Amino acid sequence: MVGSAIVRKLKAEGFENLLVRKSSELDLRNQAAVEDFFATEKPDYVFLAAAKVGGIVANNTYRAEFLYDNLLIEANIIHQAYRTGVKKLLFLGSSCIYPKLAPQPLKEEYLLSGFLEATNEPYAIAKITGIKLCESYRRQYGCNFISAMPTNLYGPNDNYDLQSSHVLPALIRKFHEAKMNDQPSVEVWGTGSPRREFLHANDLADACFFLMENYNDELFVNIGTGVDVTIRELVDQVRQVVGYEGEVRWNTDKPDGTPRKLMDVSRLHAMGWQHRTELRDGLEMTYQDFLANEELYVE
């Protein structure tokens, strides 16, 4: 989702000399393969969007893979970017790097100030390591490696697998299938009380392009909207967009996750960037994309 959005943005800006590889073409966990790619292609600029990602179920179930795979991906790419003289690299992390009970909204300086959310701790640790890799290669070798932390994302090419997806695509699929099958109710996990912030992937790509052009400092930058909603409010909006008229049943035996994850985006706003896509508009765009590509998204 993120990589394809960045490619669309770069093409829209007139860039044609893009080096892209699917995971089936280049295993970024393979040190030798990554070394060969960088030695052969010699990229000037790198957007490091690759990662093993998923929702609360996937994060809590595949804890070893989420830590191991992400550590290998970022370490291999960042090290080879240094070795081959990449001019600039942008590493993308996640809002889950922040402590579970950090003050809201989340400021960049809150990193490592408290305990992480248990269900996604391995993924968070991997992403924190990526930030520290960029910081350390900058300090030791003078590399212009920057980091950005997006909030929760959604948009074209999202993951709609009900076992591994994030909350928003999972809700779209659940409500759509319930509507198509005339199901009287849909189960949603938790109480609906946690608050989450959502950013369209196109806006993230726009912010990444902006930072690659304009930002060269060590401290990572939050990317978000600065606005959040409760999961209950999100569920209601998705249900309306999909047109499902049945009952929503809340399974309160399931975990809520972090109570709130609102990003402080004042630093990015001060640089002159703000999001363009409001949540309701983004949901309608995303559902239309889901309908147009349902055969690809749902196997």
Per-residue confidence in pLDDT tens, the chain, 299 aa: 999 999 999 999 999 999 999 889 999 999 999 999 999 999 999 999 999 987 777 788 889 999 999 999 999 999 999 999 999 999 999 998 999 889 999 999 999 999 998 988 999 999 999 999 999 999 999 999 999 999 999 999 999 988 778 889 999 999 999 999 999 999 999 999 999 999 999 999 999 999 999 999 999 999 999 999 999 999 999 999 999 999 999 999 988 877 888 999 999 999 999 999 999 999 999 999 999 999 999 87
End-to-end CA distance of the chain: 17
User: What is the rounded CA–CA span in Å between residue 130 and residue 124?
Assistant: 10
- Looking at residue 116, the DSSP 8-state letter turns out to be P
Domains annotated for the chain, with CATH where assigned, are 2-297 (3.40.50.720)
161 labelled binding-site residue: no
Q: Is it true that the peptide bond before 105 is cis, omega within 30 degrees of 0?
A: yes
CA Rg value for the chain: 19
Q: Name the residue among 104, 89, 107, 103 with its Cα closest to residue 47.
A: 89
For residue 224, the number of C-alpha atoms closer than 13 Å in the C-beta half-sphere is 26
The predicted pLDDT at position 276 comes to 97
The predicted pLDDT at position 274 comes to 97
95 labelled binding-site residue: yes
Which secondary-structure segment (H or E) carries 286? Answer: helix 279-292
DSSP-derived 3-state class of residue 46: strand
C-alpha 279, offset from chain centre: 16
User: What is the rounded CA–CA span in Å between residue 21 and residue 24?
Assistant: 8
166 labelled binding-site residue: yes
- What is the phi/psi pair of residue 147, to 5°? -130, 150
The predicted pLDDT at position 59 comes to 83
Q: Name the residue among 142, 18, 163, 3 with its Cα closest to residue 73.
A: 3
Please name the residues in contact with 122: beta carbons below 8 A apart, sequence gap of 6 or more: 59, 63, 64, 66, 67
The predicted pLDDT at position 163 comes to 79
Catalytic residue among 98, 123, 215, 244: 123
- Looking at residue 226, the DSSP 8-state letter turns out to be S
The predicted pLDDT at position 259 comes to 82
293 labelled binding-site residue: no
Please name the residues in contact with 113: beta carbons below 8 A apart, sequence gap of 6 or more: 99, 102
Single pTM value for the model: 0.93
152 labelled binding-site residue: yes
Active site residue 137: no
